[in-house]
Structure 1
Amino acid sequence: MRRKIGLYFGTFNPIHVGHLTIANHMAEHSDLNQIWFVVTPHSPFKKKRSLLDNHHRYQMVDRAVDDYPKLKVSNIEFNLPQPNYTINTLTYIQEKYPDYTFALIMGEDNLKGFHKWKNYELILKHHDIYVYPRISNGKVETQFDNHTKIHKVDAPIMELSSTFIRKSIKEGKNIRPMLPEHVWEYVDEMNFYK
């Protein structure tokens, strides 16, 4: 049977314990064999001063997943033309790893706008989507509620954001419990987000 890999896309700026908790939950409590954190590259078309260099964000994810055999980091998008779309990454990764089946992992909030994604019908035709809950006011209704390719996973709700972490570091707050230990050490050592 082909191994099923869940792709968890993000800037991970920085990766925090919420990301790890969700990924680990998906690896342990669904039919996904592994979760790959796909680090989204810095778009040359967007000037975002708070976004760390691709290499540093990749390093942080690599350190975060080091102790988790079912979690991996991927820089597959770093060499794809920008701006990039998820469908392009999926096509490329499926060609590069033909023996694996790839699924997407996304938050419930992203599912709401999924119909606006480039070639979303093609994504749904060839890939399952695993959705984790987000805090919202009531149930999030979408056109995909009963879709056979969409699996809602009862993962823990993590109300933690990289934006909040960056802001707190800038204000001199101690955010150490919010980051995996090796990530905190790296951020501290490199003086990131200050």
Structure 2
Amino acid sequence: MEKQIETGIFSGSFNPIHMGHLMLAGYLSAFTYLEEVWFVVTPHNPLKEKESLLPDDIRLEMVRLALADYDNLKVSDVEFRMPQPSYTIDTLNALTREYPDRRFSLIIGGDNWSLFDKWKDYEQIMERYQILIYPRPGENIRIPKRLRKSVQLVNAPEVEISSTFIRHAIEEGKEMRAFLPPKVYDYIKKNHLFRNQESGIRNQESGIRNQRSVL
């Protein structure tokens, strides 16, 4: 059997995707065993609806635009095609079945690691998959010795950029070009996203409904 392709799964709402996301993924693909990083865009959860969360297809399109020039960074809509609610273990198992030529690892932040024992089937995740933890500002990450074969803390640079900060700044009319991938910046500006969200959403929902970029 040929060597499996080492692939990291980086899940998030990406509302919007920003340079911090790309810097982290770039670091992981350059300085760890990962050959590719897949951005898995999480769908709307009807039970936890947020007015600030853009529709699934718009967020997927922004990630597609951000990654268009990177061969080792890709976007997946796998969770859009799964029964809801779906959990991380379900996503990892579905991808493993669909892509037997790949070995998947889970990428999470230190904030999520501190709550990891509350995740559905978290022990199965650790048994079946490698976990890469990246530092978050203010988080003191500890990995018990017995878990260090499957859980690894990566020394990625801490980037204090958040999608929430970017959304609020855009709403206030701040210039955010330096924080966003160029194509994403242009897309947000062209469609008045976050600043005039309702009109931007209406203009885009029909236009990109059939343009999903799927792995």
Matches of 2:28 and 2:67, distance apart in 1:
14
Give CA-to-partner distance per residue, 1:11-47, whole Å, 9 cap, x none.
Answer: 0000000000000100111001100000000112222
Aligned-partner SS, 2:47: coil
Q: Which secondary structure does the structure 2 equivalent of 1:13 belong to?
A: coil
SS at match of 1:45: helix
Distance, in Å, in 1 between the alignment partners of 2:145 and 2:9 is: 19
Q: Which residue of 2 aligns with 1:101?
A: 103
Number of the residue aligned with 2:176: 175
Aligned with 1:51: secondary structure? coil
Q: Which runs of 5+ in 2 are unaligned?
A: 196-215
Match of 1:147 in 2: 148
Residue in structure 2 matched with residue 124 of structure 1 by the alignment = 126
In 1: Cα distance, 2:20 partner to 2:145 partner: 25
1:99 CA displacement? 1.3
Q: Residues 175 and 156 of structure 1: is their aligned pair in 2 closer, same or farther, counting only changes over 3 Å?
A: same
Partner of 2:43: 41
Maintained 8 Å contact 1:6/1:36: yes
2:112 is aligned to 110
Q: Which amino acid aligns with 2:29?
A: A
TM-score between the two structures when normalised by the length of structure 2: 0.87
* Equivalent residue, structure 1, for 2:16: 14
Letter in 2 for 1:148: K
CA RMSD of superposed structures (Å): 1.3
Residue identity in the other structure for 1:107: G
The answer on whether the counterparts of 1:44 and 1:82 sit within 8 Å (CA) in structure 2 is no
CA distance in structure 1 between the partners assigned to 2:76 and 2:145 by the alignment: 28
Cα separation, 2, equivalents of 1:17 and 1:77: 23
Percentage identity across paired residues of the two chains: 44
CA contact (8 A) 1:108 1:133 kept: yes
Residue 125 of structure 2 aligns with an amino acid whose one-letter code is I
Q: Counterpart in 2 of 1:57? A: 59
Aligned to 2:26: 24
Q: CA deviation at 1:144?
A: 6.9
Distance 2:84 2:166 in 1: 27
Indicate whether 1:67 and 2:69 are aligned: yes
Is residue 111–residue 142 contact of structure 1 (8 Å, CA) maintained in 2?
A: no
Which sits farther off after the overlay, 145-154 or 157-166? 145-154
Give distance in 1, aligned partners of 2:110 and 2:138.
9
1:114 deviation in Å? Answer: 0.5
2:26 aligns to what SS in structure 1?
helix
Partner of 1:192: 193
Distance in 2 (CA, whole Å) between partners of 1:8 and 1:2 is 18
Q: Which aligned runs of 4 or more in structure 1 are off by greater than 6 angstroms?
A: none
- Relative to structure 1, the CA distance from residue 144 to residue 15 in structure 2 (aligned partners, 3 Å threshold; closer, same or farther) is farther
Rounded Cα–Cα distance in structure 2 between residues aligned with 1:172 and 1:73: 29
CA distance in 2, matches of 1:30, 1:126: 19
